[in-house]
Structure 1
Amino acid sequence: MVLEELGLTYESIYLDFQKGEHKAPEHTKHNPNGRIPTIIDHKNNDYTLWESDAILLYLVERYDPEHKVSVADAGEKFHQLQWLFFQASGQGPYFGQAAWFIRYHSEQLPSAQERYKNEIKRVLGVLESVLSKQEWLVGGKATIADLSFIPWNDIAIPAFTDFDFATEFPATAAWNRKLHGRTSVKKILETRAAVNAA
């Protein structure tokens, strides 16, 4: 999404998780964690980086001098970083554990499922407490801080929750809808749907 926002050219390589391609040497030579995403910047001596939010920070540091999806003010940069840390430490792991225990774990553990469903609500509650007072997380505009939340929101909220998102978290649901209205987000979600359907 950020590559699109910045008008950068790129080639996406999709890995087949069922075949373990993310754990294969061809990928782990770039990303020893064997996860996605990984970026190789051919415009910068094949500079390689992994971890979503590190990649986002790199992209705006190197390719967003006009601050299209980033902030310039020093104080706001730390607030942007704060939200990226919250996404990486709060949303990602908890939403991911909800997915694991609800869909993939070898046995049904209601207590674990309940814990991570509650963590989804807690994370959304933190977002709601801020977004009910302001339109965006930082800088008065959509930034990488906002965009970082989209992938897990799209996976976890519809699939692993049993509450009405728009009713319980109206400001956060409205923010999510506004992000989905962006051309970059629409394009990437359409691409993802096509890849998943193939």
Structure 2
Amino acid sequence: MDHITIAEPSSPHYEEALTFALRHYLERHNCSLEVRPDFLAIAYAGNSIIGTLGLITTSTEPYFFEQSEPKGAAETLLCGEPRNTLGELTRFTLREGTSPREALEQGKQLTACLCAYVYARGIRHIGFVGKRSFCSILERLAIPYAILGTPTLEDIPRELLGTYPAQHNLYAIGFSLDRAPSTLHA
């Protein structure tokens, strides 16, 4: 990986990165990415995209990680702070053939850069649905996290879920940023 760029929808790099993410969502997870992330961290090798990580912000619609048991994942994570400080990560999309070691390193760098960027824009609390393995990235970045519950998938249309129902050990996970993560040590 040569560098990471953060793109917003108005950025010239955004559409190309979104196309990359959509293609990999469909190939790997048999579902489409139904939302357009507000922020996309894009990893490059030369001029080629090799990975992305997105973050969605909304103050009205419930996030995927909120559809979990026990109820109240967002309220637990927010601890009384306004909802406009909350966002949700999308899944990583990494190019085919990425080794587990490369995936961990790219994941760490994408997460650090994206979190530092959104921290500067007032996002302090981030939730997502995923496996505990992602928590090792947070641990390496010294970001404390909490398991907020177990996702419930009954109310979500099947075409939006893709491989989620077949996966085991999924959790609603959240973390709060008390500072911007250092991207120097990521």
Bin of the TM-score, shorter chain as denominator length: under 0.3
More helix by share: 1
More strand by share: 2
Give the TM-score normalised by the residue count of structure 1.
0.27
Larger-gyration structure (1/2) = 1
In the superposition, the TM-score normalised over structure 2's length comes to 0.28
Higher relative contact order (CA 8 A, sep 6+): 2
